[in-house]
């Protein structure tokens, strides 16, 4: 509890500090960024938009963290300590929890791990830190001239240029690609010629497919593009000059050029003999995994790096959990405890309300809401609002049953005699005695939320394309069965995360099970 309190306090303080100083710090920037993007989460002033939601989140993090830190100094309940020892003794659940915390910490690093913006750039004797700035730097800031000078800086290209000229240094994240909005050019791999036959580097069979020479390999600026069958040039060939104009066409048959035509400026032979490097195998998107080129899990059909996309999906899932769980537990616990404690007409009316909500077809409601919301408003807050409307009802009946069971017990009667009010009885006496139910439900609620988000995104009624989601990646893989790495990687990470959460839930349930650790004499 003490460590959790410190972490929450630090996160809230960093969020406020970053907003005041104009820094885009990992994870904590999300509160203020979302607040500015969603119209009802900020209000406009004469100077600028005031992100009240971001400041509210920062204040709640600091207040909640300080409260947990203070509470951690109170004497620990021996029953709670015994339950924690039982949980740690269940090795499978304990290890799964550690892995989940590690994944959460990794996701919290945000642009320090995944992103196309450089962590640091040393140019002309000074350092800059683009990944932590709220605004984009331009190519002109790093000496580039021409039509692309005022475009956002391309740090991957800048890194190659500065390293080649030894004019500076660029430090990129370990995965130098954004999860979305970072469409990569066509990838390529070297071809090796043996006895007149072309083989892909590391391959044992003759290469069949598209091959090309490039003006610039990194930008995929084609010079000559060929078709290879069984390692031999066979089929049409096309050529482009350095400006991207198509200037050459021809046809090969069994490795022999049978016809060609050149209509560019200058000599044809000089064009063909340009020093553009060796022939390379062209890999259009979705491209298979190429660790040598930095794409460990390949690319999607949109040209996104799969590993970066999976990381973005992991971040979306953790954000959704951190927002969804407190809200539905606040609603479900409050209503359930009041239903069981008061009973009567309040209990009856609330049950009828729950019956109305539970009988609504969930998928149809999501489709209707998704079609009604304008595109510019769609995002995680809207989807979570829809899920929250249906997610609080399950635990309400559990809390109602617990309140019905305990409201006539002696400790409640003693609290009434001592003059305790209804809120104190519900939240200081009834609620602590239902902690076992709540803690047991948390992991399974998490897995249900992640599965629901994935399902909605797979069906096309979830988050917009600007957000990386595992459901959309799964849909992309099933739409491109010739790219099995898309479905395979998505299935592995999704099932792996759900299994980890399930193991934690089972361990918590076993640790809090009174029948398993109670003995009668």
Specify the CATH superfamily of domain 306-511.
Answer: MetI-like (1.10.3720.10)
Under a CB-based contact definition with an 8 Å cutoff, are residues 137 and 128 in contact?
Answer: yes
The answer to which of 124-128, 365-369, 392-396 has the lowest mean pLDDT is: 365-369
Structure-derived torsion over alpha carbons of residues 199, 205, 209, 211, reported in degrees to the nearest 10: 0
**In the structure, how many helices (H) and strands (E) does the chain have?**
17, 14
Is the pLDDT at 505 greater than 80? The verdict is yes
Of 514 and 234, the one with more pLDDT: 234
Say what the pLDDT of residue 520 is: 46
pTM of the model: 0.90
Helix (H) or strand (E) holding 317: helix 306-342
Residue 408 to residue 421: CA distance in whole angstroms: 15
46 band by pLDDT with thresholds 50, 70 and 90: low
Residue 150 has pLDDT above 90, yes or no: no
Question: Could you tell me what percentage of the chain is helix, strand and coil, using 3-state DSSP and rounding each to the nearest 5?
Answer: 55, 15, 30
pLDDT digits (tens, 9 = 90+) for 67-123: 888 877 667 777 778 888 888 999 999 999 999 999 999 999 999 999 999 999 999
Three-state DSSP state, 171: strand
What does the mean pLDDT of the chain come to? 87
State residue 21's pLDDT score. 86
Pairwise CA distance, residues 442 & 501, whole Å? 9
**Residue-level pLDDT at 461:** 83
Q: What percent of the chain has pLDDT over 70?
A: 96
Q: What is the pLDDT of residues 411-440, one digit of tens each?
A: 888 888 888 888 888 888 888 888 777 888
Residue 218 has pLDDT above 90, yes or no: no
Question: Under 8 Å CB-to-CB from 443, ≥6 apart: which residues?
Answer: 501, 502, 504, 505, 508
User: Residues 495-515: what's their mean pLDDT?
Assistant: 87
Helix (H) or strand (E) holding 192: strand 187-194
C-alpha 14/C-alpha 20 separation (Å) is: 10
CA atoms within 13 A on the CB side of 212: 20
Domain boundaries along the sequence of the chain: 2-74, 120-171, 187-284, 306-511
Report residue 32: phi and psi, to 5°.
Answer: -80, -35
Can you give the length of the chain in residues?
521
pLDDT surpasses 90 at 44: no
- Which string of DSSP letters, residue by residue, matches 395-445? HHHHHHHHHHHHTTSHHHHHHHHTT--HHHIIIIIIGGGGHHHHHHHHHHH
Q: Is cis: bond before 418, omega within 30 of 0?
A: no
The SS3 assignment for 447 reads helix
The CB density around residue 177, as the number of other CB atoms within 10 Å, is: 25
Closest CA to 287 of 483, 88, 64: 483
pLDDT at 521: 44
Q: Which two tokens stand for residue 193?
A: 């010629």
Give the C-alpha separation, 336 to 300, whole Å: 45
pLDDT at 515: 61
Judged against a pLDDT cut of 90, whether residue 168 lies above it is answered with: no
Kindly give, in sequence order, each residue whose CB lies less than 8 Å from that of residue 248, ignoring residues fewer than 6 positions away.
Answer: 224, 237, 238, 239, 240, 260, 261, 262, 263, 264, 268, 271, 272
Could you read off the pLDDT of 459-504 as tens digits, one per residue? 888 888 889 999 999 999 999 888 999 999 999 999 999 999 999 9
């Amino acid at each position: 509890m003490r460590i959790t309190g410190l972490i929450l306090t630090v996160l809230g303080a960093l969020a406020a500090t970053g907003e005041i100083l104009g820094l885009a710090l990992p994870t904590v920037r999300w509160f203020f960024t979302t607040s500015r993007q969603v119209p009802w989460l900020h209000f406009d002033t004469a100077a600028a938009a005031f992100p009240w939601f971001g400041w509210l989140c920062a204040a709640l993090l600091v207040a909640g963290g300080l409260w947990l830190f203070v509470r951690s100094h109170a004497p620990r309940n021996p029953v709670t300590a015994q339950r924690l020892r039982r949980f740690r003794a269940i090795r499978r659940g304990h290890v799964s929890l550690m892995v989940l915390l590690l994944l959460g910490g990794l996701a919290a690093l945000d642009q320090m791990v995944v992103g196309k913006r450089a962590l640091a750039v040393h140019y002309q004797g000074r350092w800059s830190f683009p990944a932590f700035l709220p605004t984009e730097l331009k190519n002109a800031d790093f000496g580039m001239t021409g039509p692309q000078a005022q475009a956002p800086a391309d740090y991957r290209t800048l890194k190659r240029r500065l390293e080649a000229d030894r004019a500076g240094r660029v430090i990129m994240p370990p995965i130098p690609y954004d999860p979305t909005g970072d469409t990569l050019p066509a990838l390529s791999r070297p071809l090796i010629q043996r006895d007149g036959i072309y083989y892909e580097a590391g391959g044992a069979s003759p290469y069949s497919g598209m091959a090309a020479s490039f003006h610039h390999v990194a930008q995929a600026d084609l010079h000559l593009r060929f078709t290879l069958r069984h390692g031999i040039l066979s089929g049409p060939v096309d050529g482009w000059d350095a400006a991207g104009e198509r200037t050459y066409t021809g046809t090969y048959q069994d490795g022999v050029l049978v016809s060609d035509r050149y209509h560019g400026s200058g000599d044809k032979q000089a064009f063909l003999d340009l020093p553009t490097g060796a022939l390379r195998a062209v890999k259009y998107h979705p491209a298979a995994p190429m660790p040598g080129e930095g794409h460990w899990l390949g690319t999607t059909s949109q040209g996104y790096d799969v590993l970066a996309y999976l990381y973005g999906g992991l971040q979306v899932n953790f954000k959704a959990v951190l927002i969804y769980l407190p809200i539905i537990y606040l609603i479900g616990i409050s209503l359930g405890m009041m239903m069981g404690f008061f009973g009567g007409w309040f209990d009856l009316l609330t049950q009828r309300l729950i019956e109305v909500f539970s009988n609504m077809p969930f998928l149809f409601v999501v489709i209707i809401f998704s079609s009604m919301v304008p595109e510019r408003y769609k995002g995680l807050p809207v989807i979570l609002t829809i899920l929250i409307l249906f997610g609080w009802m399950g635990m309400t009946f559990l809390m109602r049953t617990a309140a019905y069971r305990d409201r006539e017990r002696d400790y409640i009667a003693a609290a009434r005699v001592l003059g305790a009010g209804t809120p104190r009885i519900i939240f200081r006496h009834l609620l602590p005695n239902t902690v076992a139910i709540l803690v047991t439900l948390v992991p399974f609620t998490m897995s249900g939320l992640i599965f629901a988000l994935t399902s909605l995104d797979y069906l096309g009624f979830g988050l917009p394309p600007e957000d990386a989601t595992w459901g959309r990646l799964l849909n992309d893989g099933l739409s491109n069965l010739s790219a099995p790495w898309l479905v395979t990687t998505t299935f592995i990470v999704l099932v792996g995360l759900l299994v980890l959460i399930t193991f934690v839930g089972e361990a918590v349930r076993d640790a809090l099970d009174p029948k398993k650790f109670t003995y009668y004499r």
